[in-house]
Amino acid sequence: MRIGIVHFTSDRGIGPAAVARLIEQSGLAAYFVPEHSHIPMRRHAAHPGTGGAELPDERYLRTLDPWSTLGAAAAVTERIELGTAVALPVQSDPITFAKAVATVDHLSRGRLTLGVGFGWNTDELGDHGVPVGRRRTMLREYLGAMRALHADDEAAFDGEFVRFGPSWAWPKPSRQVPILVGAGGTEKNLRWIAAHADGWITTPQDRGIASATTRLGEIWAASGRAGSPRVVALDAVPDAARLSRWEHAGVDLVLYPAVDQTEAAASRYLARLADAVAQWIPLPTAG
C-alpha cells in the first residue's frame, strides 16, 4: 500500500506545481486533484457531506482545471502518480476530454490515473446539458469513446450521447490509462465499477471501506475480470491500525488532504505525515 495527497486546488495559496514537487521530495507516492467547472448559486443538489445546499469549503467555488493543474505537476516531478479525484468527464466535450487525458499522460510519461465521478452536483451537471437520469450511461459512453481514441489508429464510436466516424487522434497513451470511479461503496456502484472501470476511489463519507473492498473483489471475480481492482481510499488523519486493515483488504493507495497556505506550512505537514506513515513509504534506492 502507498500513501499520497489529494489537493483541493484553488486560486489561493501556493500553486499545484509547488505542492507536487514537495510531495515527491517527501517520499510520498501520488498527487490527485478534483474538478468542478463552476457552482450554481441557486442549487437543489444536496452536498454529500452537509446534507443540504451548504458547501463545506469555499474552494468548491475556486477549483482549478485538473488538466492544466496536472500538466504543471508533471513538469516538475518525475516519479509520483498523478490523478484526478475526481474528474467529471460528462461536463466536457468527449473528444476534447479524451485529448486532455492523453496529453497529460504523455507529458507525465505514463503516470496518469483517471478518477471519474457520476457527479453529485446535479445543478452543475444540468448547466452542461447533462440529463441527470442518464449520467451513468453518458459516463460509460465517454469512457468507451476515450478508450477508442486512445487505442485505435482509426477510432470511431456510435452511442446515444457520443458519436463520431473514423478519426485520427494522437498522442496515444503508452498503456490504457487506468480508470477509477469515485462513488459511495454501495452494491450498485461496486457492480458498475466491476463492469466498466479498473477500480474504486472511496468518498469522505464512506465507512466500512475494508468490507466494501472485499465485496468489490468478489464482484470482480464473479464478473470474470482478471487480477484485482485498484482501491484508493480517502482518509483524514493517519491511524496505523486502520491503515493495516485497509492494506490487508486490498487498498492500494491512501490519500490525505494537502496543506497549501505556504510552502513552509506544506513542507512541515508533509514531514509529519511521512513520519506517521513511515512503514508505507519505501526507502529510497541508491543511484
- The whole-angstrom separation of Cα 47 and Cα 44 is 9
Residue 287 confidence (pLDDT) above 70:
no
Mean pLDDT of the region 187-201:
98
Q: What is the mean pLDDT of the segment spanning 110-124? A: 97
pLDDT over 90 at 103, yes or no? yes
Q: What is the share, in percent, of the chain residues with pLDDT greater than 70?
A: 99
Q: Dump pLDDT digits (tens) for 179-193.
A: 999 999 999 999 999
Strand 253-257 versus strand 81-84 pairing type = unpaired
Cα angle value 264/267/270 (rounded, 5°): 150
CATH of 2-280, one of 3.40.640.10, 3.20.20.30, 1.10.238.10, 1.10.3720.10: 3.20.20.30
No. of helices (H) and no. of strands (E), the chain? 9, 10
Contact 46, 201 (CB under 8 A): no
CA 194 to mean position of chain CA atoms: 17
Structure confidence at residue 282 (pLDDT): 85
Q: CA 21 → CA 30, 35, 53, 76, distances in Å?
A: 11, 21, 35, 6
pLDDT for 286 beyond 70: no
In the chain, where the domains are located: 2-280
Question: Which pLDDT belongs to residue 43?
Answer: 86
pTM of the model: 0.97
